[in-house]
Homo-oligomer: A and B are copies of this chain.
Amino acid sequence: MFKVGLIGLGVMGKPMAANLLRAGFPLTVFHPVRERCESLEIMGAAVAETPEQLARTNDAVITILPETVTVEQVLFGEKGVAAGLKPTCAVIDMSTISPTATVEFARRLEAVGCQMLDAPVTGGRKGAVEGTLGIMVGGRHEVFAKYLPILQATGKTITYTGPIGNGQKTKLVNQLVGATNLLAAVEGLRLMRAAGLDPETTLNAVSSGAASSWMLVNLGPLILQGDFDPGFSIRLQFKDLTLLRDWIAELGGEYPASSLVYSVFQEAMKKGLEKQGNQGLINVWPSP
Protein backbone atom coordinates (compact mmCIF):
# COMPACT_ATOMS: atom_id res chain seq x y z
CA MET A 1 0.00 0.00 0.00
CA PHE A 2 1.32 3.43 -0.93
CA LYS A 3 2.59 5.71 1.81
CA VAL A 4 0.79 8.97 1.13
CA GLY A 5 1.66 12.53 2.12
CA LEU A 6 -0.97 15.28 1.96
CA ILE A 7 -0.23 19.00 2.08
CA GLY A 8 -3.00 21.50 2.77
CA LEU A 9 -5.62 20.80 5.44
CA GLY A 10 -8.19 23.35 4.33
CA VAL A 11 -11.94 22.88 3.85
CA MET A 12 -11.23 20.20 1.21
CA GLY A 13 -7.90 18.71 2.30
CA LYS A 14 -8.88 17.82 5.83
CA PRO A 15 -11.84 15.54 5.02
CA MET A 16 -9.87 14.07 2.08
CA ALA A 17 -7.03 13.19 4.47
CA ALA A 18 -9.52 11.53 6.81
CA ASN A 19 -10.87 9.43 3.91
CA LEU A 20 -7.34 8.32 2.98
CA LEU A 21 -6.82 7.17 6.57
CA ARG A 22 -10.16 5.34 6.58
CA ALA A 23 -9.12 3.59 3.34
CA GLY A 24 -6.04 2.29 5.17
CA PHE A 25 -3.30 4.42 3.58
CA PRO A 26 -0.38 5.23 5.92
CA LEU A 27 -0.66 9.04 5.88
CA THR A 28 1.62 11.97 6.68
CA VAL A 29 0.16 15.47 6.66
CA PHE A 30 1.59 18.97 6.56
CA HIS A 31 -0.11 22.29 7.18
CA PRO A 32 1.56 25.59 8.15
CA VAL A 33 -0.84 25.94 11.11
CA ARG A 34 0.11 22.96 13.31
CA GLU A 35 -3.29 22.80 15.10
CA ARG A 36 -5.04 21.94 11.81
CA CYS A 37 -3.18 18.58 11.99
CA GLU A 38 -4.33 17.53 15.45
CA SER A 39 -7.58 15.72 14.68
CA LEU A 40 -5.84 13.75 11.92
CA GLU A 41 -2.95 12.90 14.26
CA ILE A 42 -5.51 11.43 16.66
CA MET A 43 -6.88 9.35 13.75
CA GLY A 44 -3.37 7.98 13.13
CA ALA A 45 -1.67 10.38 10.69
CA ALA A 46 1.98 11.33 11.07
CA VAL A 47 2.74 15.06 10.99
CA ALA A 48 5.67 16.43 8.99
CA GLU A 49 7.54 19.61 9.95
CA THR A 50 8.10 20.71 6.34
CA PRO A 51 6.94 19.72 2.84
CA GLU A 52 10.52 18.52 2.19
CA GLN A 53 10.38 16.14 5.16
CA LEU A 54 6.93 14.90 4.07
CA ALA A 55 8.18 14.16 0.54
CA ARG A 56 11.24 12.27 1.82
CA THR A 57 9.23 9.45 3.42
CA ASN A 58 6.29 8.91 1.05
CA ASP A 59 5.41 7.29 -2.28
CA ALA A 60 2.97 9.97 -3.36
CA VAL A 61 2.50 13.59 -2.31
CA ILE A 62 -0.95 15.14 -2.64
CA THR A 63 -1.23 18.92 -2.70
CA ILE A 64 -4.65 20.53 -2.20
CA LEU A 65 -3.99 24.25 -1.94
CA PRO A 66 -5.79 27.52 -2.73
CA GLU A 67 -3.63 29.22 -5.37
CA THR A 68 -1.12 28.62 -8.16
CA VAL A 69 1.55 30.52 -6.17
CA THR A 70 0.88 28.43 -3.04
CA VAL A 71 1.43 25.23 -5.02
CA GLU A 72 4.64 26.64 -6.52
CA GLN A 73 5.92 27.67 -3.09
CA VAL A 74 5.13 24.28 -1.51
CA LEU A 75 6.70 22.36 -4.40
CA PHE A 76 9.76 24.45 -5.20
CA GLY A 77 10.23 26.91 -2.30
CA GLU A 78 12.66 26.52 0.58
CA LYS A 79 12.16 23.19 2.33
CA GLY A 80 9.69 22.40 -0.44
CA VAL A 81 8.54 19.06 -1.81
CA ALA A 82 11.08 18.99 -4.69
CA ALA A 83 13.98 19.14 -2.24
CA GLY A 84 12.87 15.89 -0.58
CA LEU A 85 11.36 13.88 -3.45
CA LYS A 86 12.60 10.39 -4.22
CA PRO A 87 12.60 9.66 -7.97
CA THR A 88 9.93 6.98 -7.45
CA CYS A 89 7.60 9.45 -5.78
CA ALA A 90 4.78 11.20 -7.64
CA VAL A 91 3.12 14.53 -6.98
CA ILE A 92 -0.67 14.57 -7.30
CA ASP A 93 -1.90 18.17 -7.33
CA MET A 94 -5.61 18.23 -6.51
CA SER A 95 -5.77 22.04 -6.27
CA THR A 96 -7.48 24.12 -8.97
CA ILE A 97 -4.68 26.19 -10.46
CA SER A 98 -3.38 27.49 -13.80
CA PRO A 99 -3.14 24.71 -16.45
CA THR A 100 -0.12 26.48 -17.95
CA ALA A 101 1.71 26.65 -14.61
CA THR A 102 0.79 22.98 -14.06
CA VAL A 103 2.59 21.93 -17.24
CA GLU A 104 5.62 23.95 -16.12
CA PHE A 105 5.60 22.41 -12.62
CA ALA A 106 5.45 18.92 -14.15
CA ARG A 107 8.44 19.76 -16.36
CA ARG A 108 10.47 20.91 -13.34
CA LEU A 109 9.53 17.77 -11.39
CA GLU A 110 10.44 15.56 -14.34
CA ALA A 111 13.88 17.21 -14.36
CA VAL A 112 14.43 15.66 -10.91
CA GLY A 113 13.01 12.33 -12.09
CA CYS A 114 9.48 12.62 -10.65
CA GLN A 115 6.05 12.29 -12.23
CA MET A 116 3.11 14.59 -11.69
CA LEU A 117 -0.64 14.24 -12.09
CA ASP A 118 -3.00 17.20 -12.05
CA ALA A 119 -6.24 16.06 -10.46
CA PRO A 120 -8.55 18.96 -9.57
CA VAL A 121 -11.84 18.09 -7.95
CA THR A 122 -15.50 19.09 -8.02
CA GLY A 123 -18.21 18.47 -5.46
CA GLY A 124 -17.18 20.91 -2.74
CA ARG A 125 -16.90 20.26 0.98
CA LYS A 126 -19.83 17.81 0.88
CA GLY A 127 -18.10 15.69 -1.78
CA ALA A 128 -14.82 15.80 0.14
CA VAL A 129 -16.48 14.66 3.38
CA GLU A 130 -18.49 11.90 1.71
CA GLY A 131 -15.66 10.79 -0.59
CA THR A 132 -17.83 11.44 -3.64
CA LEU A 133 -15.71 14.09 -5.39
CA GLY A 134 -15.46 14.26 -9.15
CA ILE A 135 -11.77 14.12 -10.08
CA MET A 136 -10.43 15.17 -13.51
CA VAL A 137 -6.97 13.74 -13.99
CA GLY A 138 -4.19 14.75 -16.39
CA GLY A 139 -0.75 13.15 -16.75
CA ARG A 140 0.81 9.99 -18.20
CA HIS A 141 -1.71 7.17 -18.29
CA GLU A 142 0.57 4.64 -16.56
CA VAL A 143 1.07 7.09 -13.69
CA PHE A 144 -2.70 7.62 -13.48
CA ALA A 145 -3.27 3.83 -13.44
CA LYS A 146 -0.60 3.31 -10.75
CA TYR A 147 -1.99 5.87 -8.31
CA LEU A 148 -5.68 5.35 -9.07
CA PRO A 149 -6.33 3.61 -5.69
CA ILE A 150 -5.35 6.83 -3.91
CA LEU A 151 -7.80 8.85 -6.02
CA GLN A 152 -10.52 6.26 -5.46
CA ALA A 153 -10.19 6.77 -1.70
CA THR A 154 -11.20 10.44 -2.06
CA GLY A 155 -13.53 10.56 -5.06
CA LYS A 156 -16.21 8.76 -7.00
CA THR A 157 -16.36 9.93 -10.63
CA ILE A 158 -12.73 9.78 -11.75
CA THR A 159 -12.05 10.83 -15.34
CA TYR A 160 -8.74 10.42 -17.14
CA THR A 161 -8.52 13.47 -19.40
CA GLY A 162 -5.16 13.04 -21.19
CA PRO A 163 -1.75 14.71 -20.80
CA ILE A 164 -0.66 16.83 -17.84
CA GLY A 165 -2.67 20.07 -17.58
CA ASN A 166 -5.80 18.53 -19.10
CA GLY A 167 -7.28 17.93 -15.64
CA GLN A 168 -7.12 21.67 -14.95
CA LYS A 169 -8.43 22.52 -18.41
CA THR A 170 -11.39 20.18 -17.96
CA LYS A 171 -12.06 21.73 -14.54
CA LEU A 172 -12.06 25.24 -16.05
CA VAL A 173 -14.51 24.18 -18.77
CA ASN A 174 -16.66 22.82 -15.94
CA GLN A 175 -16.43 26.11 -14.04
CA LEU A 176 -17.33 28.14 -17.12
CA VAL A 177 -20.48 26.10 -17.73
CA GLY A 178 -21.44 25.95 -14.05
CA ALA A 179 -20.94 29.68 -13.39
CA THR A 180 -22.96 30.59 -16.49
CA ASN A 181 -25.77 28.23 -15.45
CA LEU A 182 -25.67 29.92 -12.03
CA LEU A 183 -26.00 33.36 -13.62
CA ALA A 184 -28.93 32.00 -15.66
CA ALA A 185 -30.63 30.74 -12.50
CA VAL A 186 -30.00 34.01 -10.63
CA GLU A 187 -31.32 36.11 -13.50
CA GLY A 188 -34.40 33.90 -13.85
CA LEU A 189 -35.13 34.31 -10.13
CA ARG A 190 -34.63 38.09 -10.34
CA LEU A 191 -37.01 38.30 -13.28
CA MET A 192 -39.74 36.20 -11.66
CA ARG A 193 -39.53 38.42 -8.56
CA ALA A 194 -39.59 41.64 -10.57
CA ALA A 195 -42.64 40.34 -12.46
CA GLY A 196 -44.47 39.49 -9.25
CA LEU A 197 -44.68 35.79 -10.13
CA ASP A 198 -44.93 33.30 -7.29
CA PRO A 199 -41.27 32.28 -6.83
CA GLU A 200 -41.82 28.68 -5.74
CA THR A 201 -44.41 27.91 -8.42
CA THR A 202 -42.22 29.46 -11.09
CA LEU A 203 -39.04 27.78 -9.87
CA ASN A 204 -40.80 24.41 -9.93
CA ALA A 205 -42.18 24.97 -13.43
CA VAL A 206 -38.83 26.14 -14.84
CA SER A 207 -36.91 23.34 -13.08
CA SER A 208 -39.07 20.63 -14.62
CA GLY A 209 -38.15 21.07 -18.27
CA ALA A 210 -35.51 22.12 -20.79
CA ALA A 211 -34.35 25.07 -18.65
CA SER A 212 -33.36 22.85 -15.75
CA SER A 213 -29.83 22.79 -14.35
CA TRP A 214 -28.02 21.54 -11.25
CA MET A 215 -27.54 25.18 -10.20
CA LEU A 216 -31.25 26.04 -10.56
CA VAL A 217 -32.43 22.89 -8.77
CA ASN A 218 -29.87 23.02 -5.94
CA LEU A 219 -29.20 26.73 -5.39
CA GLY A 220 -32.57 28.19 -6.48
CA PRO A 221 -34.35 27.03 -3.30
CA LEU A 222 -31.49 28.38 -1.12
CA ILE A 223 -31.90 31.81 -2.74
CA LEU A 224 -35.65 31.75 -2.11
CA GLN A 225 -34.96 30.89 1.55
CA GLY A 226 -32.39 33.72 1.80
CA ASP A 227 -29.69 31.17 2.68
CA PHE A 228 -26.33 32.48 1.46
CA ASP A 229 -24.09 30.17 3.50
CA PRO A 230 -21.12 28.99 1.49
CA GLY A 231 -21.13 25.54 -0.05
CA PHE A 232 -18.74 26.96 -2.61
CA SER A 233 -17.84 30.60 -1.89
CA ILE A 234 -17.98 33.57 -4.26
CA ARG A 235 -14.27 34.13 -3.52
CA LEU A 236 -13.33 30.65 -4.77
CA GLN A 237 -15.67 30.86 -7.76
CA PHE A 238 -14.06 34.20 -8.68
CA LYS A 239 -10.59 32.64 -8.29
CA ASP A 240 -11.56 29.91 -10.77
CA LEU A 241 -13.08 32.44 -13.19
CA THR A 242 -9.84 34.44 -13.02
CA LEU A 243 -7.88 31.28 -13.96
CA LEU A 244 -10.38 30.77 -16.77
CA ARG A 245 -9.96 34.34 -18.01
CA ASP A 246 -6.15 34.04 -18.00
CA TRP A 247 -6.26 30.69 -19.81
CA ILE A 248 -8.66 32.02 -22.47
CA ALA A 249 -6.36 35.04 -22.95
CA GLU A 250 -3.55 32.57 -23.76
CA LEU A 251 -5.76 30.50 -26.10
CA GLY A 252 -7.31 33.49 -27.89
CA GLY A 253 -10.87 33.57 -29.19
CA GLU A 254 -14.07 35.19 -28.05
CA TYR A 255 -15.96 33.62 -25.14
CA PRO A 256 -18.70 36.10 -24.25
CA ALA A 257 -20.38 34.05 -21.49
CA SER A 258 -17.03 33.66 -19.78
CA SER A 259 -16.41 37.43 -19.99
CA LEU A 260 -19.87 38.16 -18.60
CA VAL A 261 -19.66 35.80 -15.61
CA TYR A 262 -16.16 37.07 -14.83
CA SER A 263 -17.39 40.68 -14.72
CA VAL A 264 -20.47 39.81 -12.65
CA PHE A 265 -18.40 37.88 -10.08
CA GLN A 266 -15.88 40.75 -10.05
CA GLU A 267 -18.78 43.04 -9.15
CA ALA A 268 -19.80 40.59 -6.38
CA MET A 269 -16.25 40.77 -4.97
CA LYS A 270 -16.34 44.60 -5.08
CA LYS A 271 -19.63 44.51 -3.18
CA GLY A 272 -18.04 42.47 -0.37
CA LEU A 273 -19.94 39.25 -1.06
CA GLU A 274 -16.80 37.09 -1.18
CA LYS A 275 -17.67 34.97 1.86
CA GLN A 276 -21.20 34.17 0.70
CA GLY A 277 -21.95 30.97 -1.18
CA ASN A 278 -21.97 31.44 -4.94
CA GLN A 279 -25.79 31.66 -4.83
CA GLY A 280 -25.12 35.08 -3.20
CA LEU A 281 -24.46 36.30 -6.75
CA ILE A 282 -28.08 37.47 -6.71
CA ASN A 283 -27.09 40.10 -4.12
CA VAL A 284 -25.11 41.96 -6.78
CA TRP A 285 -28.44 43.49 -7.79
CA PRO A 286 -30.89 45.34 -5.57
CA SER A 287 -34.09 43.40 -4.81
CA PRO A 288 -37.03 44.39 -7.01
Which residues on A are within 8 Å of B, measured CB to CB? Answer: 122-124, 134, 136, 157, 159-162, 166, 169-170, 172-178, 180-181, 183-185, 187-188, 190-192, 194-195, 197-198, 201-202, 204-206, 208-216, 218, 232, 248, 251, 253-258, 260, 264, 285, 288
How many copies of the polypeptide does the oligomer hold? 2
Q: Chain B's nearest CB lies how many Å from the CB of A103? A: 12
Nearest to A288 among chain B residues (CB) is: B253
- 5 more A-B residue pairs beyond the given contacts A157-B209, A159-B201, with a C-beta to C-beta distance below 8 A: A159-B204, A170-B202, A181-B181, A212-B214, A213-B214
Q: Which residue of B178, B209, B260 contacts A174 across the interface (Cβ within 8 Å)?
A: B209
Contacts of A185 in B (CB 8 A): 177
Shortest 8 CB-CB contacts between residues of A and residues of B: A180-B184, A178-B211, A213-B213, A177-B188, A177-B211, A159-B205, A187-B257, A212-B214
Query: Chain A at the B interface: mostly helix, strand, loop or mixed?
Result: helix
Q: A181–B261 Cα gap in the complex (Å)?
A: 13
- A187-B197 in contact (CB<8A): no
B contact residues around A124 at 8 Å (CB) = 210
A-B contacts, 24 of them at CB < 8 A, read A122-B211, A124-B210, A157-B208, A159-B205, A161-B197, A173-B191, A176-B184, A177-B185, A177-B211, A177-B216, A178-B210, A180-B180, A180-B187, A181-B211, A184-B184, A187-B257, A190-B253, A190-B255, A191-B251, A210-B232, A212-B213, A254-B285, A256-B260, A256-B264
> Chain B: which residue is nearest A257 at the CB level?
B187
CB < 8 Å: which of B195, B218, B255, B285 contacts A210? B218
Q: Which of A178, A206, A248 has the most chain B CB atoms closer than 10 A to its own CB?
A: A206
* Min distance, Cβ A267 to any Cβ of chain B, angstroms: 10
Residues of B within 8 Å of A212, CB to CB, are 213-214
Q: Are A136 and B205 in contact (CB under 8 A)?
A: yes
